[in-house]
Amino acid sequence: MYEAVEEREARETEADTAVRSASQEKKEQSVHAGQTDVVSEPQDCCDPPPLPCASIPDALADIEEQQLGLTDATSLGTKNQTNESEVPRRKPKRRALIWSAAFVAVLLAVLTIASRRALKKTAQLKGPLLTSNPEEVKMFEEALQDQVEGFKRLWETASPATRQSFHAHYTPKVQGSSPTTSPLNLFERQVSWLLQKNRPGKRATPEQQGQYAQMLQIAWVVIKAAEARLVCLKQLEEFLAKAHRSDESRLSVRNPFFPGGTWTTSGGGLLSFRGFMNLLEPEKAASAGCGEASATDEAVPKALAHSLANSIQMHELQLEMDAKVHQVFHELLLITGTALPCGPQRPIEELAKTGALFSEQRRPFFPVSFFASLLSSFSRIHKAQEIPEEIISTWMYQWTYEGVTQRLTELEDLIRENASATASVKKTLVNRWVLLGPEDANDSTDFACLAFSLL
């Protein structure tokens, strides 16, 4: 009996010892969880795990508590590691965002400044980009010199009356310039000054050579326009000489460009309106309905009718001469890439007095844009001064001495006022251009002044 009791007490003591040892191991694992990895001894996959000496329910409870403790410790360690790693990761992200924003701001500022400078440079450019080379420049110089030689030969063959008319009406007159300077000397001096003062050096860029080449082309056009104007004056002189030989031209309108020529011959007889139209052109007589059946019986003195016909032809010839010279000047627009304005035009007197000669900061070599406006205004004026056949055909109903005399007076006033207004406009343009330039004798009669005077 005593042996049974002692055996039972020994078993209870062993169980109690097993429980205590399991509890102690659980505490140690909880303390060292997450810091020290538990390394188990290698076991054979076929051997079952050893069972504790305690009861099965107690052992299962101990295993569950151990797993819970390991899970909590592992999760705690993971959270600590996550928090510690997130802090250094968030800081680089913020720094990257700040640097990206700063870079974008600086880039936008640089692009804005560059675009403004580009726009300013683009706004100053007029016409196409100019580039050239020494071979092309030499070709333009030779062409300009050839044009000057051609104008010189034409000038030497012109009559004194034609030279005087060219000097009086188509040469710039500015304060300080000699009134006795020959027009030929003016053109030759300007060409020589251009070749000496504006020729680029050997190290000139293609752009500098292009600008010089354009100057040469502009000068070439101005000399060509002067030659065309001189040819037109010779034609006008020939027309007046032919009209002077007529016996019925004593009452013709005095030409403002050849004031020395007076028509003093006399003649008799009468002339009908149909005969007057035949003096102009037979085609005009037919188109105006001046056949034998429609012609009136009224007639006027031949001298009066011839004077009216000569005056109309002289007026038409003057308009044709101006149109030829202006057509030559249109080559300036092609060279510089300038378009003629097509909108409403200011009166030419107002344009000459207050119009902006140029938009650049300093006076250019030639005011091409302003000159285009002048050509457009002159073209409009000349178009309005034409006497169409529709108007001439109505004179048939007033083909009397009083009616023809009135037409002749009106035509004389038109020619005189046109010449006076054109001379005033050209004088205003030349004086304004000279005042805006440097005080130089060559600049007082530069190619812009010469071109203004040739209009």
pLDDT band of 354, cuts 50, 70, 90: confident
Q: What pLDDT score does 16 carry?
A: 61
User: How many of the other CB atoms lie within 10 Å of CB of 342?
Assistant: 7
67 found inside a domain: no
Question: Is residue 118 one of the residues assigned to a domain?
Answer: no
User: Which residue, among 259, 439, 230, 236, has the nearest Cα to 318 in the 3D structure?
Assistant: 236
Structural domain includes residue 253:
yes
Are 210 and 131 in contact by the 8 Å Cβ rule? The answer is: yes
Domain holding 431, by residue range, is: 134-454
In the block, residue with structure tokens 């051609």? 150
How would you label 280-310 residue by residue, b for 16+ Cβ within 10 Å and e otherwise? beeeebeebebeeeebeebbbbbbbbbbbbb
Query: pLDDT tens, 301-343?
Result: 988 998 899 899 999 999 999 999 999 999 999 999 898 888 7
Q: Do the domain assignments include residue 365?
A: yes
Least confident of 18-22, 256-260, 289-293, 366-370: 289-293
Report how far residue 140's alpha carbon sits from residue 212's, in angstroms, rounded to the nearest whole number: 10
pLDDT of residue 346: 83
Question: Domain for residue 33, yes or no?
Answer: no
Q: pLDDT for 416-444, tens place per residue? A: 999 999 999 999 999 999 888 766 555 56
Those residues whose C-beta lies under 8 Å from the C-beta of residue 424, and which sit 6 or more positions away, are 349
Q: At what angle do helices 302-336 and 206-244 cross, to 10 degrees?
A: 170
Residue 405 covered by a domain:
yes
Choice among 189-193, 202-206, 305-309 with the minimum mean pLDDT: 202-206
Q: Which residue has the higher pLDDT, 345 or 398?
A: 398
Record the pTM. Answer: 0.68
> Is residue 37 domain-resident?
no
Please give the average per-residue pLDDT across 133-150, as a whole number. 93
Q: Retrieve residue 34's tokens.
A: 């997450």
Q: What is the DSSP string of 363-416?
A: --S--HHHHHHHHHHHHHHHHHH---HHHHHGGGGG-SHHHHHHHHHHHHHHHH
Q: In the prediction, which pLDDT does 6 show?
A: 54
Q: What is the pLDDT of residue 48?
A: 45
Residue 312 lies in a domain: yes
CA dihedral 347, 232, 434, 342 (to 10 degrees): 30
pLDDT, tens digit, 9 for 90 and up, residues 11-37: 666 656 655 665 555 555 544 444 444
Could you tell me the CA-to-CA distances from 407 to 114, 217, 299, 318, 402 in Å, in that order? Answer: 67, 45, 15, 18, 9
Q: Any alpha helices (H) in 245-301, and if so which ranges?
A: 273-280, 282-287
Domain count, the chain: 1
Who contacts 318 (Cβ-Cβ below 8 Å, separation ≥6)? 236, 257, 415, 418
Task: Check pLDDT > 60 for residue 377.
Answer: yes
pLDDT at 240: 87
